[in-house]
Structure 1
Amino acid sequence: MRLSDFIRHHADRIVDEWEQFAKTITPAADHMDSIALRDHAREILLAAARDMDTAQTASEQKAKARGEGPEKTPSLDEAGASHGELRHTVGFDLVQMTSEFRHLRACVIRRWVESMETPDQAYLQDMIRFNEAIDEALAESTAAYAEQLNRSRDIFLAILGHDLRAPLQAVSMSTELLMRKTTLEGPALTCALNIKQGARHMAAMVNDLLELVRSRLGKSLPIEPRPMDLADTVRAAIAEASAGNPECDPTLNIEGDTRGVWDSGRLDQLLQNLIGNALQHGSDPRAVFIRLRGEIDSVHLSVHNYGPPIPEEAIGTIFDPLVRSADEELGQPSTSLGLGLFIVKEVVTAHGGRIEVSSSADAGTLFSVVLPRKT
């Protein structure tokens, strides 16, 4: 039996063996069900069989061996890429993911050889074509895995760098106020100057970090939901924003039950960015209004400020990463790299909520967030 026919005939048994091997890849496989363990194995096998049945010239074979051949099997490439992405998502490392292909290749060849009675020259060509197909799928899986890894790393670095600026500003401003309102001498003055200089150097490094990942961002945020009271997190966020901006004096209004099951750290990120956005683009740092309202199954949060409205054409892209406002694009002084509202949207999405924005010259700008009580 030719190898492509053998694969189609025995696909289920081969995938069963794939699943048994995938189970041994711990700890990532410890909590995976059969469907997840068998992910894309059958599609990869059947696509490989189709590729083997496709005519191929000697020159095409040489080009394919160098990774330069035309894309003859899009279904194989798609299955391989999807497999690489999902294995990254569930926690396989690159060595573990590639080991699945090594095992698949060995399993198919072993079973096929055991089934042979009178192998001939054509069977050797079948083996070459099968190895080419598996190598193609492996290359696509590895490329997709590496891309997801890079995206995850870049989004982590970007958010880390972006959110470090708020506490750094609080340190810098607090040190400045201390030096203005208190007479410092000797070692105390030296310490204050060192803190101020250190904060300035850290801010420069954070800006360098953000520039590094400016155009390379990824997707969803991991969260760790726990019972909490959103009102406490809002008060803490207001206090931190006020420490970094002495003129900041937001008005907080709370109605109803504001407790739920959320990630307090992520919601602090959300609040710092929404409050920071209101302070940066609002006309008066004292005219920032924050409202919390508890409903039966959700809690509503809104942040409102007055100032230049967001252009209507920008509303649709305001939550996209690395999107700046019009005044920033024109070179106006700003610390924004277009990550704040992207982070806000990611946090809301990770909690299964929704966010809306409205803006006009008369009514001001209003960001409205709805969070289900249980994520």
Structure 2
Amino acid sequence: MRLSDFIVQHVDRIVDEWEKFAATLTPAADSMNSVELRDHAKAILLAAARDMNTAQTKSEQIAKSQGEEIGKTPTLDQAAASHGELRHTVGFDLVQMTSEFRHLRATVIRFWVESLTSPEIAYFTDMIRFNEAIDEALAESTAAYAERVTRSRDIFLAILGHDLRAPLQAIGMSSEILMRKTTINDADMAYIKAIKSSGRHMATMVGDLLEFVRSRLGSSLPVERKPMEMTVACREAIDAAIAGHPDCDPTFTSQGETQGEWDRARIDQLLQNLIGNALQHGASPHTISVTLTGSEHHISLSVHNEGEPIAQEAIGSIFDPMVRALNEEAGTHNPSTSLGLGLFIVKEVVNAHGGSITVTSNVGDGTTFTVVLPKRGEAPRSTQSL
């Protein structure tokens, strides 16, 4: 009997074996009933049998083996994807879920071989087609499972970041009130300033985390443009950096008309992250420079630091989230307080304003990030790394 016909005739027996095996995958299986354990097994098997009976060219076979969409089976994919999602929901780990497919493959082949009286050449083709179908189902199920894992993690991070804001605000307000008291000695004042500075760092990290999660969940970075003076924003960002780094003395130069329409809160994020990045990775806090130039329709902002250049292999991923490839072990001036999200947030702010950002880094010239922003709303421009 051909394998596809065998699967159809014995599908319930095969699914019984699936159920028995799934019941051993504890602790998640302990609380599952028969229907939940069997899940989409029957649908996957019947879809695989239909796929095996479908004519397939050599090129389609090669395409399927390489994971391309050509020749794939929608019903098989849908059943497998739903299985992956539900297994994640009930608490199976990825190893347990994939082991179900391994056991299913072995069960079908064992039952079929036991039923055969004499092998035929066509049976080899049946084996190939069945393995293709199971591999396709496994790939779809794993992809769906992984997507659920990622989304669950992002939602958790969003909740965590949101809930951390309240205690951080309380720390900031409390330290501000304590600093206003007149009876505090110098030693106590230093402690209070350290608490305030640490709270500000944590608030920045939480803000970056929330923006990252928002982008992961499919929400673009919202901006509300209002008239503002970029020179003022730069000076205030530098003042904030100095408050957190008393030994910091960056230089700032501004020329041209720097008035425009931007989202002030987003611009503050951009400036804090760029200046903070320069302080983090510069050879000395005294070699940080911020340059602002205004033209008729755009402003150009450059933040420069000396020190170890960014490795060339890291340039292409410098704006990716969770990437910290700025030679952190090369003796940077300050210990890291970053989640690896700062430059990602900078890129998102730049894109939301329809601007561009470039970075150059080498031994002789140091590292310079240059942001160009239109003074009025324009269609978004691509972010670049040079």
Q: Which amino acid in 1 is paired with 2:134? A: I
Q: What is the rounded CA distance, in whole Å, between the counterparts of 2:146 and 2:71 in structure 1?
A: 20
Structure with bigger RCO (C-alpha 8 Å, 6+ apart): 1
- The C-alpha deviation readout for 1:171-212, integer Å capped at 9, x for no partner, is 101110121135211332122111101101111111222232
Q: What is the rounded CA distance, in whole Å, between the counterparts of 2:67 and 2:156 in structure 1?
A: 32
Q: What is the rounded CA distance, in whole Å, between the counterparts of 1:73 and 1:49 in structure 2?
A: 11
2:165 matches 1:165: yes
Q: How does 1:16-35 map to 2 (within 5 A)?
A: 16-35=16-35
1:155: which partner in 2? 155
2:53 matches 1:53: yes
RMSD: 2.4
Q: What is the rounded CA distance, in whole Å, between the counterparts of 1:203 and 1:69 in structure 2?
A: 45
Contact 1:81 1:143 in 2 (8 A): yes
**Cα distance, 1:333 vs structure 2:** 3.8
Q: What is the rounded CA distance, in whole Å, between the counterparts of 2:222 and 2:50 in structure 1?
A: 48
Q: What is the rounded CA distance, in whole Å, between the counterparts of 1:132 and 1:322 in structure 2?
A: 39
1:146: which partner in 2? 146
2:100 matches 1:114: no
Q: What is the rounded CA distance, in whole Å, between the counterparts of 1:3 and 1:99 in structure 2?
A: 22
Where 1:214 maps in the other structure, the secondary structure is: helix
Q: What is the rounded CA distance, in whole Å, between the counterparts of 2:162 and 2:71 in structure 1?
A: 40
Q: What is the rounded CA distance, in whole Å, between the counterparts of 2:174 and 2:114 in structure 1?
A: 76
Contact 2:7 2:46 in 1 (8 A): yes
Q: What is the rounded CA distance, in whole Å, between the counterparts of 2:37 and 2:187 in structure 1?
A: 62
Change (3 A) 1:128 1:94: same
Q: What is the rounded CA distance, in whole Å, between the counterparts of 2:120 and 2:172 in structure 1?
A: 78
- The C-alpha deviation readout for 1:56-85, integer Å capped at 9, x for no partner, is 011111111111251531000000000000
1:68: which partner in 2? 68
Q: What is the rounded CA distance, in whole Å, between the counterparts of 1:206 and 1:59 in structure 2?
A: 50
**Cα distance, 1:334 vs structure 2:** 7.8
- The C-alpha deviation readout for 1:125-146, integer Å capped at 9, x for no partner, is 0010000000000000000000
Contact 2:39 2:83 in 1 (8 A): yes
The runs of 5 or more residues in structure 1 that have no matched partner are 219-320, 338-375
Contact 1:61 1:69 in 2 (8 A): no
1:197: which partner in 2? 197
Q: Which amino acid in 2 is paired with 1:331? A: D
Q: How does 1:315-326 map to 2 (within 5 A)?
A: none
Q: How does 1:249-260 map to 2 (within 5 A)?
A: none
Q: What is the rounded CA distance, in whole Å, between the counterparts of 1:189 and 1:94 in structure 2?
A: 52
Q: How does 1:243-254 map to 2 (within 5 A)?
A: none
Change (3 A) 1:144 1:71: farther
Where 1:136 maps in the other structure, the secondary structure is: helix
Change (3 A) 1:185 1:71: farther
**Cα distance, 1:326 vs structure 2:** 5.7
Change (3 A) 1:3 1:333: same
Runs of 4+ in 1 over 6 A off after TM superposition: 327-330
Q: Which amino acid in 1 is paired with 2:19? A: E
Normalization by structure 1: what TM-score?
0.59
Contact 1:21 1:100 in 2 (8 A): yes
Q: Which amino acid in 1 is paired with 2:63? A: A
Where 1:26 maps in the other structure, the secondary structure is: coil
Amino-acid identity (%): 70
2:71 matches 1:84: no
**Greater CA deviation, 134-143 or 176-185?**
176-185
2:263: which partner in 1? 331
Q: What is the rounded CA distance, in whole Å, between the counterparts of 2:30 and 2:183 in structure 1?
A: 61
In the alignment of these two chains, the number of paired residues is: 235
Q: Which amino acid in 1 is paired with 2:4? A: S
Q: Which amino acid in 2 is paired with 1:138? A: L
Q: What is the rounded CA distance, in whole Å, between the counterparts of 1:325 and 1:125 in structure 2?
A: 58
Q: Which amino acid in 1 is paired with 2:152? A: S
1:177: which partner in 2? 177
Change (3 A) 1:35 1:182: farther
2:378: which partner in 1? none
Q: What is the rounded CA distance, in whole Å, between the counterparts of 2:97 and 2:88 in structure 1?
A: 8
Contact 1:171 1:199 in 2 (8 A): yes
Contact 1:60 1:69 in 2 (8 A): no
**Cα distance, 1:217 vs structure 2:** 2.6
